[in-house]
Amino acid sequence: MRSERHPTEDLPAYGLGSLDETEREIIAAHVERCAQCTRDLAQFEDALYEAAAVGAVEIEPPRDLRTRIVLRHRGARSLGGPTWTSRIAQAFIHPVPLAVPAVLALLLVVSFAVVGMNRQQIDTYERALAGVASGRVVALAPTSANPDARAAVVIPDQGQPYLVVRLPPPPSGKTWEAWVLKPGPKAVAAGTSTAGDVFVLLLTTPLGAGDGVAITLEPVAGSQQPTTQPVLLVDRT
């Protein structure tokens, strides 16, 4: 490698993240191939972020934040495997041969009055999940379509799996529809709900080991296959 000048002057600012984009790219390219600058940069950043840890606000995170982070990733082995987007996309390509009649699940609308406050909805949602006596709980990840949405599949030791969902009421003429994502891949309709806020939706399609689950917005009668991108999804349960 030809001799190259080390960016000694700008490396501290690079570590601080205060360079303009063009300068940043030049330094990044150099650091990528320079062991000495990599070491120097690590020392700048370790010192800076140690100071930042001392400068952080002393505040208690929400009690359930850890649970939500772990649940979101439990069973989500998507690193390198087929992603939910690809699975859903393929489900669009290969229509479900025989649609499950949209037998409405026993829509167990948890008796929550419509609450306008987000905090109340969050509390209600957490209480509903906390009440799960035995079984597994697998969180669905919200997508950019509705980052505030929450849902988890509850797979009881005995009985039918169900979803605990926190979503706003669907628009008029629409419904929330659950899908079980089978290998193939194909999406099989698994129940609809026109409820909003926090509600429970029993899955009308058996959930096999490793199946995924998604929720989309569909016409009120339900669809034979998803017609919109999911608002919530986990690619393996």
CA pair distance 99, 152, nearest whole angstrom: 24
Closest by alpha carbon to 14, among 24, 25, 22? 24
Q: Which residue has the tokens 């000048």?
A: 5
Q: Does 20 bind another protein (CB under 8 A)?
A: yes
Part of the chain binding another protein (CB under 8 A), chosen from 42-50, 96-104, 204-212, 217-225:
42-50
Part of the chain binding another protein (CB under 8 A), chosen from 76-84, 104-112, 128-136, 223-231:
76-84
Q: Does 117 bind another protein (CB under 8 A)?
A: no
| Binding-site string for another protein from residue 128 to residue 147, where x marks contact by CB under 8 A and - marks none | -------------x-----x
Nearer to another protein, 15 or 161 (CB): 15
CA pair distance 233, 178, nearest whole angstrom: 10
* C-alpha distances in Å from residue 222, one per residue of 91, 103, 170, 181, 191: 16, 10, 12, 16, 8
Closest distance between another protein and the C-beta of residue 39, in Å?
Answer: 7
Q: Which positions touch another protein (CB under 8 A)?
A: 9, 12-13, 15-20, 38-39, 41-62, 65-66, 68-77, 79, 118, 141, 147
